[in-house]
């Protein structure tokens, strides 16, 4: 049995949590981290067959309504994007790593999708 990694990134997050935690000693975690990330390249899409696409799911999570103006027919909202994708490169057999099914990885050490968030204002398209 191998573990597949489902990555969840919050735009302000610093760590990516993957899967479930099992107690392991530091040597096992160092070995797993080294085996999976020493040759990991953040410039290459995390999919074994590079001719396929990486399915990325996004969801806007609203936090609060900042402005609601009915006379001008506009509103402003504060929130963040929740982004999910499967990283096929970060898979392993937990039996080979003392049952470890989780690896905490700093987001700057993982591939991230390039996203452009578009904002519509008065019929003009702005890129932020």
Helix (H, G, I), strand (E, B) or coil at 34: helix
Which residues are within 8 A (CB) of 118 and not within 5 positions of it... i.e. 6 or more apart?
A: 125, 126, 127, 128
Q: Which residues pair with 58 in a beta bridge?
A: 83
- Report yes or no: 84 and 4 within 8 Å, Cβ to Cβ: no
pLDDT in tens, 52-72: 999 999 898 999 998 888 998
Alpha carbons 108 and 2: distance in angstroms, whole number: 25
pLDDT in tens, 70-85: 998 888 888 888 998 9
Rg (CA), the chain: 19
User: So what's the pLDDT on residue 22?
Assistant: 52
- Please state whether beta strands 105-106 and 56-69 pair in parallel, antiparallel, or not at all (unpaired): unpaired
Residue 17 CB: number of other CB atoms within 10 A?
Answer: 14
3-127 carries CATH number 2.70.170.10: yes
- Report yes or no: 102 and 36 within 8 Å, Cβ to Cβ: no
Confidence band of 23 (pLDDT split at 50, 70, 90): low
């Amino acid at each position: 049995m191998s573990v597949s990694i489902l990555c969840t990134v919050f735009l302000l997050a610093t760590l990516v949590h993957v899967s479930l935690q099992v107690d392991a000693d530091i040597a096992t975690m160092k070995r797993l981290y080294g085996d999976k990330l020493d040759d990991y390249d953040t410039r290459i899409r995390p999919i074994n067959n590079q001719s396929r696409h990486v399915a990325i799911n996004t969801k806007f999570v609203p936090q609060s309504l900042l402005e609601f103006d009915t006379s001008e027919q506009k509103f402003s909202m504060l929130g963040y994007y929740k982004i999910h994708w499967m990283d096929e490169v970060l898979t392993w057999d937990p039996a080979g790593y003392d049952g470890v099914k989780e690896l905490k990885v700093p987001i700057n050490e993982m591939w991230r999708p390039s996203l452009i968030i578009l904002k519509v204002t008065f019929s003009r398209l702005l890129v932020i």
